[in-house]
Amino acid sequence: GAVVSQHPSWVICKSGTSVKIECRSLDFQATTMFWYRQFPKQSLMLMATSNEGSKATYEQGVEKDKFLINHASLTLSTLTVTSAHPEDSSFYICSAPLREGSYNEQFFGPGTRLTVL
Amino acid sequence: AQSVAQPEDQVNVAEGNPLTVKCTYSVSGNPYLFWYVQYPNRGLQFLLKYITGDNLVKGSYGFEAEFNKSQTSFHLKKPSALVSDSALYFCAVRALRGRKLIFGQGTTLQVKP
């Protein structure tokens, strides 16, 4: 099956620094990728839709300037948490549909655990 | 607006017994429904989906789910639970013309030997 990877799998950073998380589709191209945030023992909250070649679409309440998304290529989307604070500590997961327009087949990355001290 | 509800935070079942994890949904038009499983500190793994056709959908690892339009439900079932089935389960819905998956709050399944 299709594989989506994330890097790093975990990161610890100091408050005020920026952290970049990568999401890659390893064996397929993805013009769209989705970024989710998950708090402990809670559901996934969609943060934004990453679009290759255009701006990301953010969900209501998600700060665009804080969570920068760049869909650099057909296989790579990055999420940068800028000026991170302890409340940004969370599990970040990306997903990608196998085929453009086929949003019923989405593959999820393994997630990135961010801890901000 | 789309929404998904999983009324149980946790379901406990003995190994070998049948299990049910409940899910109800609200969406305009025909729903596309999904179940995913998540193991600790891991991403989500797809179990099964309902798009159209038979109301009983069979998926991975012996799981199945029944789509009930009148009750707007999509409960996950398995005839005989395994300890290794213990994990966090998410129900999700996508509207006909939407791209986004909306997830329920998740249900922790605990299967005891």
In which band, very low, low, confident or very high, does the pLDDT at A27 lie, cut at 50, 70 and 90? confident
Residue B27 CA: distances (Å) to CA of A42, A45, A48, B56, B78:
21, 18, 20, 20, 26
pLDDT of residue B96: 64
B94 and A103: CB-CB below 8 Å? yes
Please tell me the distance from the alpha carbon of residue A49 to that of residue A69, in angstroms, as a whole number. Answer: 9
pLDDT exceeds 80 at position A71: yes
Please tell me the distance from the alpha carbon of residue B24 to that of residue B86, in angstroms, as a whole number. Answer: 21
pLDDT of residue B31: 87
Smallest CA–CA distance, residue B112 to chain A, in Å, is 20
Structure tokens at A77: 């989307």
Hey, of B44, B50, B89, B103, which one would you mutate to test binding to chain A, going by the most A CBs within 10 A of its CB? B44
Handedness of CA B24, B27, B32, B37 (dihedral sign): negative
B100 and A34: CB-CB below 8 Å? yes
Contact list in B for residue A60 (CB cut-off 8 A) is none
Of A4, A104, A111, the CB nearest to B42: A111
3-state secondary structure of B79: coil
pLDDT of residue A43: 86
A108 and B43: CB-CB below 8 Å? yes
Contact list in A for residue B108 (CB cut-off 8 A) is 41
The distance of Cα B32 from the centroid of its chain, to the nearest Å, equals: 12
**Chain A residue closest to B36 (CA)?**
A108
In which band, very low, low, confident or very high, does the pLDDT at A97 lie, cut at 50, 70 and 90? confident
Q: What is the mean pLDDT of residues A62-81?
A: 95
- Give the closest residue to A43 by CA, choosing from B108, B47, B90: B90
B100 compared with A10, residue with greater pLDDT: A10
pLDDT exceeds 80 at position A99: no
In which band, very low, low, confident or very high, does the pLDDT at A50 lie, cut at 50, 70 and 90? very high
In which band, very low, low, confident or very high, does the pLDDT at A100 lie, cut at 50, 70 and 90? low
Contact list in A for residue B60 (CB cut-off 8 A) is none
B100 at A interface, C-beta within 8 A: yes
Q: What is the mean pLDDT of residues A51-80?
A: 94
pLDDT of residue B42: 79
The tens place of each residue's pLDDT in chain B, 113 residues long, gives: 788 999 999 999 999 999 999 999 998 888 899 999 998 877 889 999 998 889 999 999 999 999 999 999 999 999 999 999 999 999 999 876 667 888 999 999 999 99
